[in-house]
C-alpha cells in the first residue's frame, strides 16, 4: 500500500537496524527486499526521518529506485528497480493493476464467514491526516478481497488481496467491517491496539512480470507473527 509520510510531531522515529535491509532477490532489473516493520519506504520531512528503504537501498545497491511503498509499520515483500527502464516497466504494472499482492493480517474478533470482498472508496481525512476515511461520494475506488486462514480466541488470521493500492486501504477496510488490524496505532480501538506489539500486517507475496524476460515471478516472505 502507499505510504503517508509522518512528521516529527506525529512519531518518535527509531527504525530497526537489525535486520537492516534483507534481500530476497537481486538481478540486473530487480531488487526485492523484506522491509522491516518500523522503517519508512521513503524519507519523511526533515533529517530525523531520512532513514528509509530508499536511502538504505541506494547506499547498499547503487542505482536502486523506488517503485511502490509499504506503510511504515507494515513488513514484507517490496520490489525496487535497478534501472530507469525497469522502474518504468514495473510502474506501469502497478498502475494497470497487473501486480498480484497477498498480505497476512491478524484482526480483532472472530470473523464468522470464510471469505468476502470489500468495496469502499477512500479519501484522506484532511483534518486528521494521515488517516483515511471511507467516502462513497468523493473517495477513490478501493477493493479488497479477504479469506480466513485461522481463528484464534479473540482474533482472526486472514489473507488480504487488495485489487487497488490506496493509502491505508487494508487498515481502513478491515476497520469498516468491525475487525481492525491488531496493533494499528491509527485505526484500532484500545483493546485491539494493545493486543499486539506491532501492526499485524505483512506483505507476504508479490507477483509480477519480469521487465526483461517477461516471465511471471512470485516473491514471498515468511510472516514474522
Active site residues: 71
Nearest C-alpha neighbor of 25 from the set 104, 80, 74, 102: 80
How far is residue 180's CA from residue 150's CA, in Å, rounded to a whole number?
A: 16
Does residue 46 sit in helix, strand or coil? coil
Please provide the distance, in angstroms rounded to a whole number, between the alpha carbons at the two ends of the chain: 19
Nearest C-alpha neighbor of 174 from the set 203, 145, 135, 141: 145
CB 37 within 8 A of CB 54: no
Name residue 116's beta-bridge partners.
Answer: 146
Nearest C-alpha neighbor of 203 from the set 104, 72, 100: 104
Residue 88 DSSP one-character state: H
Cα–Cα–Cα angle for 97, 64, 86, rounded to 5 degrees: 45
Amino acid at each position: 500500500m502507499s505510504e503517508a509520510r509522518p512528521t516529527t510531531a506525529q512519531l518518535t522515529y527509531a527504525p530497526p537496524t537489525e535486520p537492516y535491509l534483507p534481500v530476497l532477490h537481486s538481478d540486473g532489473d530487480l531488487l526485492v527486499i523484506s522491509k522491516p516493520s518500523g522503517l519508512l519506504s521513503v524519507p519523511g520531512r526533515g533529517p530525523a526521518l531520512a532513514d528509509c528503504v530508499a536511502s538504505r537501498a541506494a547506499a547498499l545497491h547503487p542505482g536502486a529506485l523506488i517503485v511502490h511503498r509499504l506503510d511504515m509499520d507494515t513488513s514484507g515483500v517490496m520490489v525496487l528497480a535497478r534501472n530507469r527502464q525497469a522502474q518504468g516497466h514495473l510502474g506501469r504494472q502497478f498502475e494497470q493493476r497487473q501486480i498480484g499482492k497477498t498480505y497476512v493480517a491478524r484482526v480483532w474478533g472472530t470473523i464468522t464467514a470464510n471469505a468476502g470482498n470489500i468495496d469502499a472508496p477512500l479519501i484522506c481525512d484532511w483534518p486528521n491526516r494521515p488517516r483515511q476515511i471511507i467516502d462513497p461520494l468523493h473517495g477513490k475506488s478501493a477493493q479488497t478481497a479477504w479469506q480466513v486462514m485461522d481463528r484464534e480466541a479473540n482474533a482472526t488470521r486472514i489473507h488480504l488481496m487488495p485489487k487497488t493500492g490506496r493509502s491505508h486501504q487494508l487498515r481502513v477496510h478491515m476497520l469498516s467491517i468491525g475487525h481492525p488490524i491488531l496493533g494499528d496505532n491509527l485505526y484500532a480501538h484500545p483493546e485491539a491496539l494493545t493486543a499486539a506489539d506491532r501492526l499485524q500486517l505483512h506483505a507476504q507475496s508479490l507477483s509480477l512480470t519480469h521487465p526483461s524476460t517477461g516471465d511471471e515471478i512470485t516473491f514471498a516472505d515468511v510472516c514474522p507473527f
